[in-house]
Structure formats: structure tokens, C-alpha cells
Amino acid sequence: MADKKGIGIIGYGGFGEFIHKAWNQMPSVHVVAVCDSDPKRAPGGDAVFYSNDTDLLADPNVDIVC
């Protein structure tokens, strides 16, 4: 299998948390970045947290954005 694809999640409210858990169940992808305007929503772990979408979109590790 090819390398894992890096996922970036924009918006980390209830649905963002839900989709993060869903992506974690897939062996071919890895959540590498999360963006939300509220830093209190940072998920922790190894995903980089951004407070604006421009920075997340510029992250070279992000292949797919949702």
C-alpha cells in the first residue's frame, strides 16, 4: 500500500470530532492537522492545531481537507 494520506480537518466542533474518529478507523489515512477558531477545541495528540484555514492549507503534510 502507498504511504498514508494526511487529513486536515477545518472546524472542530461536534462534527469535526466525529469525523476525526472516523478517519482514525481507516488505515490508509492519518489526521495530521486540525483548524478551529477556538484554541480550546484543539484535540491534542499528534495533529497540528491551526487557528486559521490558510495555515492548514499551506501545511505540506495535508493531502486531503474536510
In the block, cell 487557528 appears at 51
User: Rounded to an integer, what distance in angstroms lies between the CA atom of residue 28 and that of residue 32?
Assistant: 13
**Residues contacting residue 26 through CB under 8 Å, at least 6 positions apart:** none
Residue 44 has what pLDDT? 84
Residue ranges per structural domain of the chain: 5-65
**Residues 12-26: pLDDT tens digits?**
998 999 999 999 999
Look up the CATH number of domain 5-65. 3.40.50.720
**Residues 19-64: pLDDT tens digits?**
999 999 999 999 999 999 999 888 888 999 999 999 999 999 999 9
SS3 47: coil
Query: Dihedral sign, CA of 6, 28, 13, 42?
Result: negative
DSSP 22: H
